[in-house]
């Protein structure tokens, strides 16, 4: 347990210090949302209607871009080999790393989402609910992305390959995330079912992600 | 004959060489019969002659999904039992499965134009097939980027298993999202809702497609084994030149 906490703290420290790029994802999120009205037009009614979808897509892309850092730097300086030889089961190590990654890249997205929702003319009362859907759904994005990150570091190929592998698997998260957000804003459909399925997806990927990522690392780096 | 007997690539190649001509002949005969029956099948009272597209579309869809199932089994063979031919089988199934999924999408699109009035709709079944195609392309991309065949095969095996776990979820979530495509009509508890005059040719065509898949799969596996042998011979030759 101490080891896992140590890994968690180490990864978070590395992420927030110089060169860590923890808040790069949130900055990217902000820029993407700012670009959207330029492409769609400043029609506030339209923006309010498609706002949840834009926010979810922006969060998906932002968390995807940050995934590269999950294993790549540790692999470059050799600390990944040490982690793999450690006494803690690799699944738990990987899960701790992913949790640290979510806390430093996923959580900032959740925090600034209400502000961005305000820019997209989403109803004030719904902003909290919107952030809640992101808080429930972004862990799934990180833990599914974990598999892609492990596969691409094992093959020493990053970038686009990672996106190609991970994006199709995130389809359900996007569907239920946007459904829950729309339900919270429009209120025409019940919020509960979509939101609970979103939570279920997160819990499911919390289990599947570390196991598959560990298998990828073990088979790729042996 | 046990699966383990096939572990020897040379023996496997010998069996493939013996079986392949028969499989090709069976495929040709089945396609001849199936296409003849399909073209002579009565037109649908609503859809007219476009109903014939179904004889290509439905088997292609089945085989597209069958390809992923085969890849998952091969992935288990690679990761769990370390069967030497399992990764060859998985690698061979990926492009064939992708091709059948693509045929399913194209024929469906051509059918949709006269029937639904559009080439593409964002309907649940269409979209989930499209996502399946994207997953296939992801696996293929993984094979393309790996320098060493063995490493790429293990990575692709993990992705196939993750995909196999996720496909039902994707399918279910996409179903929930939007639906226009008719529900399953061949395999149902209450019996098929298709008229026998259309069902028989469809089943013959499905059998023909399955034989085509198996034939292609074995041929691609044979080519892959030979390609790997050429590769290792080249490597050995390069070492000899250096020494």
Residues from chain A contacting residue B176 (CB–CB below 8 Å)? 175
* Both tokens assigned to A96: 């701790």
CB contact under 8 A, B151 and A154: yes
Per-residue pLDDT of chain A (222 residues; tens, 9 = 90+): 788 888 888 888 888 776 667 778 888 889 998 888 888 888 888 888 888 888 999 999 988 888 888 888 888 888 888 888 878 888 888 999 899 889 888 888 898 988 888 888 888 888 888 888 999 999 999 999 999 888 888 777 767 888 888 888 888 899 888 888 888 887 777 778 888 888 999 999 999 999 999 988 888 766
B45 burial (CB, 10 Å; 0-12 / 13-18 / 19+) is: exposed
Residue B77 in contact with partner chain A when CB distance is under 8 A: no
Residues from chain A contacting residue B134 (CB–CB below 8 Å)? 164, 167-168
Check residue B82 and give left, alpha or beta (phi > 0: left; psi -120 to 50: alpha): left
| Å between B157 CA and nearest CA of chain A | 9
Q: Give the three-state DSSP class for B44.
A: strand
Q: How do residues B71-119 score in pLDDT, each as one tens digit?
A: 999 988 888 888 878 888 888 999 999 999 999 999 888 888 877 777 7
Confidence of residue B16 (pLDDT cuts 50, 70, 90): confident
CB contact under 8 A, A212 and B142: no
Q: Is residue B240 within 8 Å of residue B52, measured between CB atoms?
A: no
* Both tokens assigned to B85: 């031919």
In chain B, which residue's Cα lies nearest the Cα of A144? B162
Which residue would you say has higher pLDDT here, A27 or B185?
A27
**pTM (2 d.p.):** 0.84
Interface of A with B in 169-188 (CB under 8 A): 169, 171-172, 175-176, 179
* ipTM for the predicted complex: 0.81
| Å between B96 CA and nearest CA of chain A | 19
Task: Report which of A165, A73, A86, A95 is spatially closest to residue B158, judged by C-alpha positions.
Answer: A165
pLDDT at A7: 84
Q: How far apart are CA B217 and CA B58, in angstroms?
A: 20
pLDDT at A151: 87
Query: Which residues partner with B44 through β-bridges?
Result: B48
Q: What is the mean pLDDT of residues B226-243?
A: 86
Per-domain boundaries in chain B: 50-181+195-242
Contacts of B119 (CB under 8 A, 6+ apart): B109, B110, B112, B113
Q: Give the three-state DSSP class for B48.
A: strand
Task: Report which of A194, A217, A210, A186 is spatially closest to residue A98, judged by C-alpha positions.
Answer: A210
Q: What is the mean pLDDT of chain B?
A: 82
Residues from chain B contacting residue A168 (CB–CB below 8 Å)? 131, 134-135, 138, 170
Residue B187 in contact with partner chain A when CB distance is under 8 A: no
Cα B124 to Cα A52, A53, A159, B128: the distances in Å are 21, 18, 30, 6
Residue A219 in contact with partner chain B when CB distance is under 8 A: yes
Residue B237 in contact with partner chain A when CB distance is under 8 A: no
CB contact under 8 A, A172 and B170: yes
- First and final C-alpha spacing in chain B: 43
């Amino acid at each position: 347990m101490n080891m896992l906490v140590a890994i968690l703290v180490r990864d978070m420290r590395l992420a927030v210090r110089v060169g860590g790029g923890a808040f790069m994802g949130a900055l990217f999120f902000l820029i993407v949302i700012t670009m959207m009205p330029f492409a769609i037009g400043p029609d506030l009614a339209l923006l309010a209607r498609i706002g949840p979808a834009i926010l979810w897509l922006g969060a998906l892309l932002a968390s995807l871009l940050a995934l590269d850092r999950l294993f790549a730097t540790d692999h470059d300086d050799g600390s990944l080999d040490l982690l793999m030889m450690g006494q803690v089961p690799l699944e738990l190590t990987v899960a701790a790393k992913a949790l640290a990654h979510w806390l430093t890249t996923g959580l900032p997205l959740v925090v600034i989402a209400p502000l961005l929702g305000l820019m997209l003319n989403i109803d004030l009362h719904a902003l909290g609910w919107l952030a809640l859907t992101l808080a429930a759904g972004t862990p799934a994005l990180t833990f599914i992305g974990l598999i892609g990150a492990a596969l691409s570091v094992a093959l020493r190929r990053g970038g686009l390959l990672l996106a190609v592998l991970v994006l199709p698997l995130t389809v359900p998260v996007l569907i239920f995330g946007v459904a829950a957000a729309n339900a919270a804003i429009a209120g025409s459909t019940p919020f509960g079912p979509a939101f609970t399925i979103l939570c279920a997806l997160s819990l499911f990927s919390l289990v599947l992600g570390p196991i598959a990522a560990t298998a990828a690392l073990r088979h790729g780096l042996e | 004959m046990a699966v383990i007997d096939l572990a020897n690539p040379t023996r496997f190649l010998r069996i493939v060489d013996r079986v392949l001509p028969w499989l090709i002949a069976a495929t040709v005969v089945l396609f001849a019969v199936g296409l003849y029956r399909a073209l002579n099948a009565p037109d649908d009272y609503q859809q007219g002659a476009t109903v014939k597209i179904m004889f290509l579309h439905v088997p292609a869809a089945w085989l597209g999904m069958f390809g992923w199932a085969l890849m998952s089994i091969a992935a288990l063979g690679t990761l769990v039992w370390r069967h030497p031919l399992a990764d060859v089988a998985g690698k061979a199934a990926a492009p064939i499965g992708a091709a059948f999924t693509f045929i399913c999408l194209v024929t469906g699109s051509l059918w949709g134009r006269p029937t639904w009035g559009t080439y593409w709709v964002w309907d649940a079944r269409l979209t989930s097939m499209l996502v399946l195609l994207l997953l296939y392309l992801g696996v293929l991309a993984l094979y393309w980027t790996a320098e060493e065949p063995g490493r790429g095969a293990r990575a692709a095996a993990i992705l196939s298993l993750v995909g196999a776990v996720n496909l039902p979820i994707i399918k279910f979530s996409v179903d929930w999202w939007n639906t226009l495509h008719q529900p399953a009509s061949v395999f149902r508890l209450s019996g098929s809702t298709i008229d026998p005059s259309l069902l028989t040719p469809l089943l013959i065509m499905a059998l023909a497609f399955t034989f085509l898949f198996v034939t292609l799969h074995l041929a691609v596996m044979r080519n892959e084994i030979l390609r790997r042998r050429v590769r290792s011979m080249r490597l050995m030759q390069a070492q000899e030149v250096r020494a």
